[in-house]
């Protein structure tokens, strides 16, 4: 009788170890996947923040500069450095209407990719009103008539077309 009891203790310990391993191994696998997912998410967010800040830096240094004369937006690569031009993707242009509400300009087909110097003509009902340019990276550029973001020389580009 003592031999059967000793054998049942060993079997119960083996079954207990098996159950613990059966639960513990998937749990370790789950923890490993969570750790990898957090690493991937962090690197994606860091990459997005880097690109967003890079776009702001490019626009403020003239790759491209944005100038709004009240009726058109001039996107001009005005920085004379040997940096290759980067494109700017505009996903929305908003204007301030007479009621003080920002409305999306729907007459332009979005996304609008600016990859070289170009002029974006705006409808007549927007003339003289402030605008907001929203880019694909979520940057928001506010322009009053006669203002610019980045280096822009009025005399050099007054006949720009």
Is it the case that residue 161 has pLDDT exceeding 60? no
Range 31-37 average pLDDT: 81
The full set of domain ranges for the chain reads 61-157
pLDDT of residue 78: 76
Q: Is CATH 3.40.50 correct for 61-157? A: no
What is the mean pLDDT of the segment spanning 18-41?
84
Position 8 scores a pLDDT of 80
- Residue 11 and residue 56: Cα distance in Å, rounded? 68
**Confidence band for 154, pLDDT divided at 50, 70 and 90:** low
**Is the Cβ–Cβ distance between 59 and 149 less than 8 Å?**
yes
Rg over CA atoms, the chain = 30
pLDDT band at 34 (very low <50, low <70, confident <90, very high): confident
Mean pLDDT of 18-44: 84
- The order of strands in the sheet holding 118-121 is 118-121, 72-76, 65-68, 147-149
Angle at 125 between CA 104 and CA 144, to 5 degrees: 70
Q: Has residue 18 got a pLDDT over 60?
A: yes
Q: Is the pLDDT of residue 138 over 60?
A: yes
- In degrees rounded to 5, what are phi and psi of residue 50? -60, -50
CA 124 to each of CA 71, 114, 121, 128: distance values in angstroms, whole numbers, following the listed order = 7, 22, 9, 9
Share of the chain above pLDDT 70, in %: 86
Cα separation of 108 and 93, whole Å? 8
Contact 44, 119 (CB under 8 A): no
In this predicted model, what pLDDT tens digit does every residue of 52-96 receive, in sequence order? 999 998 888 888 889 999 999 998 887 766 566 688 999 999 999
8 Å CB contact between 65 and 59: yes
Top mean-pLDDT range of 30-34, 81-85, 149-153: 30-34
User: How many CB atoms are closer than 10 A to CB 38?
Assistant: 10
DSSP state of 58: H
């Amino acid at each position: 009788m003592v031999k059967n009891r000793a054998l049942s203790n060993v079997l119960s310990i083996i079954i207990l170890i098996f159950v613990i391993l059966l639960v513990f191994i998937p749990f370790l696998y789950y923890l490993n996947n969570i750790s990898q997912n957090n690493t991937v998410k962090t690197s994606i967010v860091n990459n997005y923040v880097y690109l967003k800040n890079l776009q702001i830096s490019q626009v403020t240094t003239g790759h491209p500069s944005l100038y709004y004369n009240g009726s058109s937006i001039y996107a001009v690569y005005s920085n004379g450095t040997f940096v290759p031009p980067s494109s700017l993707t505009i996903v929305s242009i908003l204007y301030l209407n007479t009621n003080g509400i920002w409305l999306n300009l729907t007459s332009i087909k979005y996304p609008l990719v600016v990859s070289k110097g170009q002029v974006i003509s705006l409808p007549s009902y927007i003339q003289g009103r402030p605008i907001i340019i929203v880019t694909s990276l979520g940057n928001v550029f506010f322009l009053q008539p006669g203002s610019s973001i980045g280096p822009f020389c009025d005399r050099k580009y007054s006949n720009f077309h």
